[in-house]
Every structure is written in C-alpha cells, then in structure tokens.
C-alpha cells in the first residue's frame, strides 16, 4: 500500500479495496519500524490518527467523503496543531502545545486527511541540511550518510521512505524544493499568498510559503487544491479562487516555451546534475516544448539579498521567544536581563542565533540603508528580471540545487557554503513566484531535481508540465534501496 | 521678566474607542480580570498573525480631518523592536515613515482671550503594550504581566514644539481631549489611561534661536500632573544651567502622587529600535471615497459647537466655550436644555452644581449619578417657581443620592414652595402684626437704610412658612405692605 500514490489511495479507499484504518495502521507500522533509521518523524499521533481513520471509514461508507478522506499524511512541525506539540525543531518550543490549528492543518482536516504525526525540520526552518534540528539530523533514505536537505528534510525523507504518501512543508529560500530534490520526490512552493500562513510559525514573513510534498506532480496537485485557500486571518493571503489543480493535468505541452537561464548553468554546478537536467529539458523538447535561452542577470545577488532580508525579519519574528509567556525558560533567572539572555542562549541553536545576530546587525542604526535598504532594492531588480523573462516564456527551468545530497558535516563549518546550496531557489522567494522540484535523474545513486519556476499563480501550468514529464519518465517512482 | 524661554512639544497617546483590538478580535473594555481579554494574537503565540481593525483606521482618519491634516492615503506599519515583558511580540507594530495623518493644526484659546495655532507634525496608528505589575501592585518578590491592554489601538499625536508655557500646553492638551471626545474616537477617560501625554521640555536664553537640550517626561495622565511636571522641569533646567550645569537629553518619569520626577534613561541608554516595515501587514490604503464619507459624517467639532451654543441657546461665549470643551458635558447640557426648555438654567447647573459635585467625587460626567433628564426635571420646577433655589440644592442632593426624580423628592420631602398670594399676604400681615417694634423701627429709619431692615422680616416670614414661601413674592408683598404704613 505504501507504494501507491495519493491518487491511487483515494481510488482504493473509495472502492473499498482497503480501509483508512488499515492504511493508517500500515503507515504507523512503517514509521515505527523505519523511522528510527531516518529520524524524519518527531511526533507520532497514532491514537488520534486511528480515531480519525475510523471516522473517515464511516464517511467513506456513507458515500459523501471529501477529497482526501482517509488518506494518511504528515505535517511539518512548523504548522501549529491543536493539542499536539509544535516544536519548530527547537528546544525553545519543545514544550509548546498550541491551542489552535494552522489554517493548512484545518484545510486538510476538512478534506478528511488523517494526520500520522509531525516531521523533523531545521530549527525554525533555518538550514539546508536538517542538521540544525534540536531533535537531531534527518538521514537521507537514499544514503544515510547524507543530508536530506532542509529545512523540510523530515517531510522529504518521510515521503521518500514511504512513511507517508504526502507531507506538508514550507519554503522560505528553497526549503521545499531543495530537500525534494535531494530526496527524489516532488515538491511545490506556491505563489506567495496562495497558502495561508496562519498558524505556520514565522521565519521570514515576506518569504515563507507553505506547500505540498509527494512523490508525483499529480499528488501535489491534489494536495495543493486542498491546502490553498483565502484566509482572512492572514493579511498577505490573496483572495483568488483556488482552481482544481487535478483537472488541468491532461494537457499536452506542445509549444510550451521553456526559459533556460544561463545563470543557472554556470560555475559551481555539478556536471552530473547538469547532465540530468539537460536530459530532462531535451525530453520536454521532444514532447513539443520549445527551449528559449534567457538571462536572469541578478541571480548572483539573490543569496546576499536573501541573507539580509530573511535574518532581518527573523530577528523580529523570533523576539517573542523570551521565556515570559510560553516555551523554554532558563532555570532560576536572577533578573530580567538574565532571563532574556540565558533563555535565548540556551533555547536557540547556533544557526538560529547566527541569523538573529545578522538580522539585528542589518537593521541597526547606521547600517539599515547599506544592508536592509540595499537588499530591498536588489529584491526589486530580481522581480524585474523575472517579469522580463516571463514576457517571452511560459515557465523557467533549471537545476533545483547545484549538486546532489552531501555528507553530514561537510558544510557544517562554513555557513556561506551552506547558504549557496539555495542559489537557484532563493530568487523565486524574493520575487514571490511559485517554484517546483521534480526528480529528473540520478548521480552516484543520489537523486537530482529539475526546478520549474512559474509566473504568479501559474501553479496549474507548472503541475501539468511536471505531470506530462512524469508520464514519460519514471524518476519519480524510483525508491531508495531497502524501501520496497 | 524671566531670562529664559520655555519650549514645549507634546506626544499624545489616544486610545481609540474601538470595540476590539487593533490587530485581533479581543475586547478592549477597561477593568477586566488580568489576561482575560488577551487572545492568541495578543499573547504573540507562534504562528499567529495580525489583521488590521478597519474602525481604528477610520478613527485615525477622522482625527486627521478634525485637525485639517493631510491624510496618508497609503500608510504603512513598521516594527519597533525592543524587549520588555509586557510587549509580547518583542516589537511594537507602529507607523514611522508613512503615518496615516500628516501635518495639521490645532487652535487653542488662552485665558486672556489670545488665540494660538499649535502645529501637528503627524499622527500615527499603533498598538498599546500590556501592563507590568511590580512588587507592591502584585505579589511579593514577583512581577506580573497583564496583557489585556496589549493591542489596544492608539493614535500617537506628535506636536511641533510650539508651546511656550504650561498654560499653552494644558490648553492644547484640553483641546485635543475635546476634539477626540467630540468626534467620538476616544472615551477621554484620563484616569483609565485613555489619553496619556509625553511632555518634551527645553529652555533657552530669552530670544535665542537655538533650542536647548530637551527632556521627555512620559505617560502623564492628568492635566494637573502635566502642569506640575512642566513647572518643576522648567525650574530644574533653569537652576541646572544657572548653576553652570548642562541639561542631559533623557527620558523622565513624574509621579503625580509623590510629586517627584526622576530620570528613567539617558540618551546613551536609549534603544536602537531597528524599525523596518512589518511584513505581516499590507500598506493601508484609504480611498478618496472613504475620506469623503468620513468627512461628511464627522461629528460637530468643539469650535463649531461653541458657536452654535452661543447662537442657539443665547449663551455667553465663555459659557459656550466651557460646555463645548468636553463632548460628554456638551451632550449632557444639550439634553438638559432641551428637556427642560431652559438653556440658561441648564448651562448654570451643568457648569456649576453638577461640575463641582462631580469634581469633588472624582467622577466623569458619563458616570454622573444625576442624569441630564433628571436635571431637566429639577430645572422645570425651578423655572416654574415650584421650588426655591435653596430647595433646588436639596432636591439635587436627593437625586444624587438616588431618591428619585425631582418631583418625587419634592413630594416626599414636602418642599413645595408657597406661591399662593392670598396665603402669602396673610402670612406677611401676621408677621407684621406680631412684630410691632420692628415695624416702628422700620418706619423711623432713613429711607436709604430701610432696605437693610427688610431681611429681618424675611427671616420671620420664611420661618413662619417653614421655608416654603416663595421669596420673590414675599419680598414684593412685604415692600408693598410696609410702604402702605409709611
């Protein structure tokens, strides 16, 4: 059952080939036996899941079940779950049990999905390797000596290891696409404002966006149709009808203009990765798409701009974790200053502290214009790059990240090397555009991701292109050794 | 003449009278149990997000229209970062670069009738913080945090340093109070912190063009404290400079109970607030249509109301000015005037007996035990001569004490004034007959001094009537009867 896609599971549940309770128990068993090797899931809600599955079976029997009724899934531990610990991968929130659900969690609940538990992640979504989690790193199911990517590494590894058919994730600078690429699954970061951020613990508010992870584009379409909604609790959420993304997956891609930015194939790109991505582009060309050389000249500025804007916003977003109201509090503070200092020094990990310091510095009197002000200007330039490009192409494609999964610790001492991991993904966050990663090959038995960037609210087209590609290739169905 | 000029600017925090908070649906009502009116957003729980209260935006625009200011059609919220336990997010969401209200003007009138325009630099929207309850207010050895107030919408009004003495500053503060209560955007309850004043004071040698170093005294919540604080601070700065010292730029606190001011933090200790645009909120767009609609529906402003009171109720400029300076008082007066049909008496009683009594008990007119309708009932009985002025005061006390309406109290206490002329004539005749010696004395007194003698007869007559004789009528009858004897 664990090799079935979400689309197949829905059909199986509706035709009563298996019950949701059977399915849920099956995945819970897999989490029980396999998760210790991967550390992808950090909270298992077995009792609640089985109860929800039993309720789903009743609805399925009654014949009026909603879209995802009875389908098991996982939530990234950044989404608040009412009554279930939501840690954001941090010691700071190790004891935090929200009294409310994120809108994304509500949406899946309304669609009848069964939540198996919460997935591991880089602390406060800050990281590209899942090494910054308070709960320890996640192992990549393709090679347990390698990272799964981050920050949604737990969700990506769980889907790759078939611990769940789909999982929610978030992407601030590549945190859906990069781990999807490194774990050989499909992941989509929607247009900023498409998915509500209510109840999604903020890292960098102007960049954060939730999205689905699954093995196929078709499954991502099913999940996104449920995940996206207009939410008046999030002022940045955009009031725009959510299409049925599954309904538009059958279109051929003849005449599709694919922009191929030269900046995405320059130095630093692993040759094996380039080869796999070029092969994928050739395959799409063979299906009738047209490849157009384009330039995104400010790509090189995206990483520096991002590492000003994201930490600046984070430095304020994380100020609420002060030991006063909830979460971690240091032992026996001697005064207020001591309470703040030790709570935050003990409760936050090194990378989170680094970014708070960077952000605080960038916003300081005398530095604001040189850093934050300049970064906002760069952000506009990057947006303009994409605007120009989309005047002549329908989608943009390139590698998701420069190389396949790397070994634990290999970039741990060099934050800049780690930050460059997101060089191809960050620009879309700065522009607010949707981006996707689709498995497109292997290098040394490790997956490679093809990135598809769309215009604003063009998720339906991106999903269709990815689906068409997956109709003629089978990289997405490859499984890590020992998984089947 | 002093050798020093004083320069004063005010920053005024006005709590907006919205039902719910600026970024959440929690109630803003005053006086609830601690932390019962703070929702997940107010507590800055992870993942929660702000949603702007439109009513707060409209109230801010109304203020802008009331002071004839430029309205920021696209204003923006920023985060002001600092750590304090009663600031749940670790930043205050406020406006800096793009405030909702731009430059405007407020005209004040001084005791000598002189008028002066105080320029408003801008006014911006922001959220209030919670309250820290320190030892003494709370348990021994523990500080408590009450977040009920956290997220209450405020406008902060920033004036130019256009005031030169405490009188001007108080007049300006009172005028702002009058404006915001008149247009209904603030309840004006100073004792509950609905309006709080930060006073910036500096002194410079008379006639100098260079401003001195200023201090800022924060969070004054009464006009009296403000006046005391300005006087003390001006004196302190002048003494300091005259003794060869220099004024330090600092933030100060004034304790109205102990009358002691102290330094809170110096410029060096000031926070770097690291303002930046709040990414959780969109720019606030106010359309021309909205502005025009708010302008059309803007309640009467104090100056217009004063003019109307003079015109409509034939009040003096001075009385109309006092009555229109406080919206609640103005509304009270108008109700009393209309229900009683006697504006002059309504004005006198509102400004006189009622205001004095409220002041003694430290009550606002909104909480007056005597309603405008009840006062009108009393005025009707004064006007129709049913009761004397002296009786009216007794009746007023009765209404204050909750004994009922004027008529009920007059009945219950048997306070009806005797105005029946037949009965009064008899009463006067009886008193004259019983006091022949006084009558002789009156007749033998010089004409010029006779008037003074009338008091003695009045006293006897009022005594005989148990105080219920109509004094004006008695006066007339008495004069007539005595003159007949001459």
Dihedral sign computed on CA atoms, order A134, A140, A146, A150 = negative
pLDDT value of residue B138: 64
Looking at residue B142, what is its pLDDT? 80
* Confidence (pLDDT) at B136: 64
The answer as to whether A45 is a domain residue is yes
Does B280 lie at the interface with A, CB-CB under 8 angstroms?
A: yes
pLDDT band at B471 (very low <50, low <70, confident <90, very high): confident
* Residue A303 covered by a domain: no
CA distance B144 to B126: 24
What are residue B125's phi and psi, to 5 degrees?
A: -90, 145
Rounded to an integer, what distance in angstroms lies between the CA atom of residue A87 and that of residue A81?
A: 10
pLDDT digits (tens, 9 = 90+) for B177-186: 999 999 999 9
Residues of A in contact with B91 (CB under 8 A): 316, 319
A233: nearest CB among B43, B51, B81: B51
Residue A127 located in a structural domain? yes
Residue B29 buriedness (CB in 10 A; 0-12 / 13-18 / 19+): exposed
> Is the predicted pLDDT of residue A400 greater than 60, yes or no?
yes
pLDDT tens digits, one per residue of B283-335:
999 999 999 999 999 999 999 999 999 999 999 999 999 999 888 899 999 99
CA atoms B350, B352, B355, B358: torsion sign: negative
Query: Which residues have C-beta within 8 Å of that of residue B183, sequence separation ≥ 6?
Result: B62, B63, B66, B298, B299, B301
Q: Rg for chain B (alpha carbons), in Å?
A: 29
Same-domain status, B21 and B88: yes
CATH number at residue B454: 1.10.10.410
pLDDT at B41 over 80: yes
Rounded CA-CA distance A66/A56 in Å is 9
pLDDT band at A307 (very low <50, low <70, confident <90, very high): very high
Instruction: State which residues form the domain around B222.
Output: 4-291
Same domain, B278 and B396: no
Whether A484 is in a domain gets the answer: no
> Do B89 and A319 count as a contact with CB atoms less than 8 A apart?
yes
Of A411-420, B61-70, B383-392, B433-442, least confident by mean pLDDT is A411-420
Catalytic residue positions of A, numbered: 76, 151, 175
Across the range A444-452, mean pLDDT stands at 97
Query: Closest Cα to residue B102, out of B128, B65, B132?
Result: B65
Q: Which one, of A152, A141, A245, lies nearest residue A191 by Cα?
A: A245
Q: Are residues B102 and B236 in the same domain?
A: yes
Domain co-membership, B312 together with B284: no
What distance in Å separates the CA atoms of residue B118 and residue B6, rounded to the nearest whole number?
A: 15
CB B421 within 8 A of CB B432: no
- Looking at the fold, whether B209 and B306 belong to one and the same domain comes out as no
Query: B276–A86: do the CB atoms touch at under 8 Å?
Result: no
| Helix, strand, coil share of chain A (percent; to 5) | 45, 15, 40
In this structure, the answer to whether residues B188 and B56 fall within a common structural domain is: yes
Tokens (6 digits) for A446? 């490790």
Q: Is B145 on the interface with A (CB under 8 A)?
A: yes
| B-chain residues near A325 (CB < 8 A) | 43-45, 88
Which residues of B are less than 8 Å from A373 in CB distance?
A: none
Domain finish residue from B388, B413, B438: B413
Q: Do B48 and A99 touch (CB under 8 A)?
A: no
Given the structure tokens 């304790």, which residue do they identify?
B255
Which contacts of B401-404 are long-range, i.e. CB under 8 A and separated by 24 or more positions? B401/B369, B402/B369
B158 and B119 share a domain? yes
* A382 part of a folded domain: no
**Could you tell me if B402 and B357 lie in one domain?**
yes
Strand ranges for B91-187 from DSSP E? 91-94, 104-109, 115-127, 131-133, 144-146, 153-159
The CATH number assigned to the domain holding A447 equals: 3.90.1300.10
Q: Going along A13-147, which residue ranges are E strands?
A: 41-44, 72-76, 114-119
The mean per-residue pLDDT over the stretch B18-35 comes to: 95
Residue A469 reports pLDDT greater than 60: yes
Q: Distance (Å, rounded) from C-alpha B244 to C-alpha A289?
A: 84
Token pair of A328 as six digits: 């971690």
Q: Is A265 part of any domain?
A: no
With respect to residue A293, please indicate whether it lies within any of the assigned structural domains. Answer: no
- Quick check: A235 and B51 CB within 8 A? yes
- pLDDT tens for B136-186 read 666 777 888 999 999 999 999 999 999 999 999 999 999 999 999 999 999
Q: How confident is the model at residue B415 (pLDDT cuts 50, 70, 90)?
A: confident
Q: Is residue A196 part of a domain?
A: yes
- How many domains does chain B fold into? 3
Q: Are residues B267 and B158 in the same domain?
A: yes
Mutation for B interface: A320, A343, A359, A429, most B CBs within 10 A:
A320
Tokens of B141: 């050895």
pLDDT mean over A461-484? 94
| Contact (CB<8Å) B40/A205 | no
pLDDT in tens, A92-149: 999 999 999 999 999 999 999 999 999 999 999 999 999 999 999 999 999 999 999 9
pLDDT of residue B137: 64
User: How many residues can be counted in chain A?
Assistant: 484
pLDDT of res. B155: 98
Closest listed residue to residue B63, CA positions, set B169, B187, B157 = B157
What's the Cα-to-Cα distance from B480 to each of A272, B306, B475, B486, rounded to whole Å? Answer: 126, 44, 9, 10
Percent of chain A at pLDDT > 70 equals 100
What value does the mean pLDDT of chain B take? 92
Q: With 0-12 CB in 10 A as exposed, 13-18 as middle and 19+ as buried, what is B243?
A: exposed
Residues 6+ apart with CB under 8 A from B474: B424, B427, B428, B458, B461, B462
Residue ending a domain, choose from B246, B273, B291: B291
Residue A472: which residues within 8 A CB-CB, separation 6 or more? A283, A287
Same domain, B266 and B130: yes
The structural domain count of chain A equals 1
Q: What is the pLDDT of residues A37-65, one digit of tens each?
A: 999 999 999 999 999 999 999 999 998 89
pLDDT at B1 over 60: no
Instruction: Locate all alpha helices (DSSP H) within A325-448, ordered by sequence.
Output: 336-347, 350-362, 374-390, 415-419, 426-431
Share of chain A above pLDDT 90, in %: 95
Among B52, B79, B145, the residue with its CB nearest the CB of A324 is B145
Q: What is the pLDDT of residue B430?
A: 86
Enter the tokens of residue B365. Answer: 């007119």
* End residue of a domain, out of B413, B447, B467: B413
Domain interval for residue A204: 6-258+392-477
Same domain, B370 and B222: no
Enumerate chain A positions whose Cβ falls within 8 A of a Cβ in B.
79-80, 86, 88, 93, 96, 98-100, 102, 197-202, 204-206, 232-236, 312-313, 315-316, 318-322, 324-326, 336, 340, 360, 363-365, 368, 372
Same domain, B308 and B428: no
Please give the Cα distance from A236 to B283 (Å, whole number).
Answer: 10
Burial of A233 (0-12, 13-18, 19+ CB in 10 A): middle
């Amino acid at each position: 059952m664990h090799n079935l896609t979400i689309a197949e599971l829905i059909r199986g549940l509706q035709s009563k080939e298996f019950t949701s309770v059977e399915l849920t128990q099956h995945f819970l068993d897999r989490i029980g036996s396999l998760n210790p090797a991967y550390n992808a899931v950090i909270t298992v809600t077995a009792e609640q899941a089985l109860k929800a599955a039993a309720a789903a079976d009743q609805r399925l029997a009654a014949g009026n079940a909603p879209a995802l009724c009875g389908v098991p899934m996982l939530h990234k531990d950044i989404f608040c779950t009412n009554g279930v610990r939501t840690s954001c991968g941090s010691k700071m929130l190790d004891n935090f049990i929200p009294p409310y659900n994120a809108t994304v969690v509500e949406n899946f609940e309304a669609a009848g999905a069964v939540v198996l538990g919460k997935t591991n992640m880089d602390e406060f979504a800050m990281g590209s390797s899942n090494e910054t989690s308070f709960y320890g790193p996640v192992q990549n199911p393709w090679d347990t000596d390698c990272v799964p990517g981050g920050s949604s590494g737990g969700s990506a590894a769980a889907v790759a290891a078939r611990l769940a058919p789909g999982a929610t994730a978030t992407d601030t600078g590549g945190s859906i696409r990069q781990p999807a690429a490194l774990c050989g699954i499909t992941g989509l970061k929607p247009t900023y404002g498409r998915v509500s951020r209510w109840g999604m613990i903020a890292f960098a508010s102007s960049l954060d966006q939730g999205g689905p992870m699954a093995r196929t584009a078709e499954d991502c379409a099913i999940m996104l149709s449920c995940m996206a909604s207009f939410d008046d609790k999030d002022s940045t959420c955009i009031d725009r009808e959510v299409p049925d993304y599954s309904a538009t997956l059958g279109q051929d891609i003849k005449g599709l203009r694919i922009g191929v930015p030269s900046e995405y194939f320059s130095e630093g790109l692993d040759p094996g990765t380039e080869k796999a991505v070029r092969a994928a582009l050739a395959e799409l060309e063979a299906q009738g798409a047209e490849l157009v050389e384009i330039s995104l000249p400010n790509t090189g500025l995206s990483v520096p701009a991002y590492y000003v804007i994201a930490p600046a916003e984070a430095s304020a977003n994380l100020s609420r974790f002060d030991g006063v109201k909830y979460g971690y509090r240091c032992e026996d503070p001697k005064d207020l200053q001591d309470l703040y200092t030790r709570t935050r020094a003990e409760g936050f990990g090194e990378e989170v502290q680094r970014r708070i310091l960077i952000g605080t510095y960038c916003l300081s009197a005398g530095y604001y214009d040189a850093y934050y002000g300049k970064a906002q200007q760069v952000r506009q330039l990057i947006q303009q790059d994409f605007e120009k490009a989309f005047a002549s192409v329908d989608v943009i494609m390139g590698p998701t990240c420069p190389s396949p999964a790397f070994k634990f610790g290999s970039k741990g001492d060099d934050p800049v090397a780690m930050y460059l991991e997101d060089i191809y993904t960050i620009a879309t966050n700065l522009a607010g555009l949707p981006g996707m990663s689709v498995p497109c090959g292997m290098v040394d038995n490790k997956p490679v991701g093809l990135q598809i960037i769309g215009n604003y609210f063009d998720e339906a087209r991106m999903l269709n292109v990815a689906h068409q590609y997956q109709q003629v290739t089978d990289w997405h169905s490859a499984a890590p050794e020992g998984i089947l | 003449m002093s050798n020093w000029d004083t320069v004063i600017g005010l920053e005024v925090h006005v709590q907006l009278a919205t039902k719910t908070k600026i970024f959440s649906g929690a109630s803003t009502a005053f006086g609830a149990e601690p932390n019962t009116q703070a929702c997940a957003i107010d507590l800055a729980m992870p993942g929660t997000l702000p949603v702007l209260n439109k009513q707060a935006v409209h109230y801010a625009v109304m203020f802008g229209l009331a002071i004839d200011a430029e309205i920021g059609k696209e204003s923006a919220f920023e985060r002001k970062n600092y750590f304090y336990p009663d600031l749940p997010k670790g930043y205050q969401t406020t406006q800096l670069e793009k405030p909702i209200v731009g430059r405007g003007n407020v005209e004040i009138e001084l005791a000598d009738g002189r008028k002066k325009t105080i320029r408003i630099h801008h006014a911006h929207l922001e959220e209030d913080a919670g309250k820290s309850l320190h030892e003494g207010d709370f348990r021994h050895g523990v500080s408590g945090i009450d977040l009920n107030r956290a997220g209450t919408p405020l406008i902060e009004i920033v004036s130019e340093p256009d005031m030169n003495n405490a009188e001007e500053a108080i007049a300006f503060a009172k005028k702002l109070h009058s404006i915001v209560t008149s247009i209904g955007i603030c309840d004006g309850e100073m004792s509950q912190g609905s309006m709080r004043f930060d006073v910036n004071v500096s002194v410079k040698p008379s006639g100098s063009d260079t401003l001195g170093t200023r201090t800022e005294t924060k969070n004054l919540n009464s006009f009296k404290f403000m006046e005391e604080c300005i006087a003390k601070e001006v004196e302190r700065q002048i003494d300091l400079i005259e003794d060869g010292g220099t004024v330090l730029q600092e933030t100060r606190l004034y304790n109205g109970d102990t009358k002691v001011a102290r330094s809170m933090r110096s410029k060096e200790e000031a926070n770097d607030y690291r303002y930046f645009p709040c990414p959780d909120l969109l720019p606030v767009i106010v359309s021309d249509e909205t502005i025009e609609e708010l302008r059309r529906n803007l309640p009467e402003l104090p100056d217009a109301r004063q003019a109307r009171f003079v015109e409509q109720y034939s009040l003096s400029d001075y009385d109309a000015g006092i009555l229109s300076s406080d919206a609640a008082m103005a509304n009270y007066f108008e109700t009393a005037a209309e229900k009683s049909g006697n504006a002059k008496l309504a004005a006198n009683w509102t400004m006189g007996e009622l205001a004095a009594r409220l002041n003694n008990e430290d009550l606002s007119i909104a909480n007056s035990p005597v309603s405008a309708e009840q006062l009108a009932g009393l005025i009707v009985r004064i006007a129709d001569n049913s009761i004397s002025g002296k009786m009216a005061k007794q009746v007023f006390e009765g209404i204050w004490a909750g004994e009922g309406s004027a008529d009920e109290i007059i009945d219950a206490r048997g306070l009806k004034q005797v105005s029946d002329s037949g009965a009064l004539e008899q009463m006067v005749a009886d008193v004259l007959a019983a006091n022949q010696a006084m009558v002789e004395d009156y007749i033998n007194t010089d004409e010029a001094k006779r008037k003074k003698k009338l008091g003695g007869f009045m006293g006897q007559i009022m005594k005989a009537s148990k105080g219920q004789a109509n004094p004006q009528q008695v006066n007339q009858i008495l004069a007539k009867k005595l003159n007949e004897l001459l």
